[in-house]
Amino acid sequence: MKMNEALQKEAARLQRELTGHSHRYHVLDDPVISDEEYDGMLKRLMEIEEAFPEWSTPDSPTKRVGAPPLESFEKALHSVPMLSLDNAFNDQDIFEFHKRIVRLTGRENIVYIAEPKLDGAAVELRYENGILVRAATRGDGVTGEVITQNVRTIGPVPLKLNEDRSKAPLLLEVRGEVIIRKSDFEKLNKARMEDGESIFANPRNAAAGSLRQLDSKITAKRPLDIFVYGTGLVQGLEFNTHHRLLNILQEFGFPVNPHIRTGLSVAGVLQAYKELERLREGLPYEIDGMVIKVDDMALQQQLGEKIKSPRWAIAYKFFAMQKTTRIKDIIVQVGRTGVLTPVAILESVNIGGVMVRRATLHNEDEIRRKDIRIGDKALVTRAGDVIPKIIRIFESERNGTQIHFKMPEYCPVCGSRIEKFKLDRSHINKCVNSSCQAQLKERIRHFVSKKAFDIEGLGRKIVDQLVDEGMIRSFVDVFTLEKEKLAGLERQAEKSASNLTEAIERSKKISFARFLYALGIEHTGENAAKLISEKFSCLDDIMAALASGLETIHGIGPETASAVSRFFSNKENKTIVRQLLEAGVEIKADRPIQARDNPFNQKRVVLTGTLASLTRSEAQKLLENSGAIVTSSVSTKTDFLIAGKDAGSKLEKAKQSGVRILEEDEFLAML
């Protein structure tokens, strides 16, 4: 009994401390412990909550890890409509806006507040008695979709307010913009490109797409951030100005943008706009203008709303960061999987303070669709997209010297013949020579990257050097590098060679998921590797799996399933895996080993009602450890419904859908 009391106190302490550390890291940017220490504390809390699910509170930091996948999103009616904003495009539009405010209120000295207009996805967070109970997308402004389990994975979002529960507002609906920072967006797209996945057009699309994942574990892998800017329905909280509201939200633990300006006259608004425009390029996230609001809440209420927008706010939009330049050449780069990517070499042009010399052309279909030719005058943009791209070309500027581009028939690096494949709706050109040096360099960089074997010291230049010198010809060679030979390389001292060999030795112990990811299998990114590793007990089982078996894993599509099966059916790949193990690589299991003939393995199961011998979370844990996919709603794809006492509408739906229904005794017997 005393031991349980001590564990419960430890769980409460860990919940409290982890919440504080998360706020310091994500909101204050002032961490006081290392990531490793934080992960250790979180792992300990998860262990305790798994053993005692009743101690897991709705605001526990473990809720950020990701919940079981949904079948679909529920709809949510906004208490107060999330209206769009009217746009202003010049100073005169702002003066006209100010005149209307003066006319409608009868007040001359209007005070404004101005904030960056973030280019992301709007959400509403609903807190009851200080606890996050629901999150929803903006949708059409009247009705959104419930995305609570996805929003819980966003680090800066407080799961409970930094306030005594007794003092927290009865109801608080907070509105904000979910974003992805520029550097994180670059990394995300690079990883997707390397994995053969389609890239996101811009950070806004990436953020919106991440929020609408049915599997929150995918959302948890995306680098989402948030700034809050207002409220919907509020009960039990008073404030008379918008800037006072933002101060309160910041005290509650919400991130508020640091570039908000308060106490502005209409002239001050225009000055603030110019200052923000100068800051724009240097900001770590995308903005496309400035939002101007009347600061006085009573005046906001007096002004009211039109059908689609409030009368007390307006968005002053920036000009897009676009410039015209000339396409000097089009070259082809060879990626890790052999995919050829055309890149436009441009006459250098300054776009938003950055000298742009290259622009991605994505693939051959993109070049044909836009009719891009060498020598063309083109409109290039960086607005909403970190990677410069060509919007369109100016056909009227052609003088007959422009040259049609044709994808090479042979690899520009190894000379092997190029093959063409169809991916989604696009065609890709690919070098299928696995010995191609360009591919080998990219594969090795991926293999030793942070999310894979994480070998510190094996950067881009040293990998290029080792491949060019013939010291690395395959993954296995990484683990046979000798300190003496490394020290003999140009710009490699004995100390750095020693550090590198020590880092290589440390990297040999690796999780199942990271090992799969490191192999660089097509269409198999970090999340796919994790999903697969969770469903198989050992490497041999994965290597023997058919595509049809892999496709039954929730979240694994036919392309990934086929790619994994194809990879391990290749004799050379099997040999490399065996040689890695012989070289000392030690794979740590990601989950308990399950029997292959387990009746729940790879089956979709729904729990309903109250079980006599188990809590719902205990039953779910047993099922997941048996390889089951536990979902929250019944569909035609459901294999079993486990019905406890007082089973409701799910039981009726299961009967109508012909789903097999198990009572508690039968369920336990099958386990």
- Pull the structure tokens for residue 477: 């060679």
Question: What's the chain's length in residues?
Answer: 671
117 is catalytic: yes
Starting at the edge strand found earlier in the chain, the sheet holding 224-235 runs: 131-137, 121-128, 171-180, 224-235
8-state DSSP, 629: E
Bin 415: left if φ > 0, else alpha if -120 < ψ < 50, else beta. Answer: left
Count of Cβ atoms closer than 10 Å to residue 238 Cβ: 10
Contact 82, 124 (CB under 8 A): yes
Beta-carbon contacts of residue 57 (< 8 Å; ≥ 6 apart):
15
Distance of alpha carbon 134 from alpha carbon 115, whole angstroms: 26
Strands (E), 236-371: 261-264, 287-294, 313-317, 322-334, 340-351, 354-360
Amino acid at site 102: V
List, in sequence order, every residue forming a beta bridge with 146; answer none if it has no partner.
136
Q: Residue 159's closest CA among 190, 181, 135, 176?
A: 135
**Coil/strand/helix, residue 383:** coil
Contact 382, 321 (CB under 8 A): yes
Distance of alpha carbon 23 from alpha carbon 18, whole angstroms: 9
Amino acid at site 596: R
Task: Work out the end-to-end distance of the chain between its first and last CA atoms, rounded to an integer number of angstroms.
Answer: 29
Distance of alpha carbon 69 from alpha carbon 212, whole angstroms: 11
Beta-carbon contacts of residue 36 (< 8 Å; ≥ 6 apart):
none
8-state DSSP, 587: E
- Determine the distance from the C-alpha atom of residue 394 to the mean position of all C-alpha atoms in its chain, rounded to a whole number: 36
Contact 213, 219 (CB under 8 A): yes
8-state DSSP, 68: P
Q: Which of 117, 217, 221, 430 is the catalytic position?
A: 117
Distance of alpha carbon 157 from alpha carbon 142, whole angstroms: 23
Count of Cβ atoms closer than 10 Å to residue 321 Cβ: 20
Distance of alpha carbon 657 from alpha carbon 285, whole angstroms: 47
Instruction: Please list the active-site residues.
Output: 117
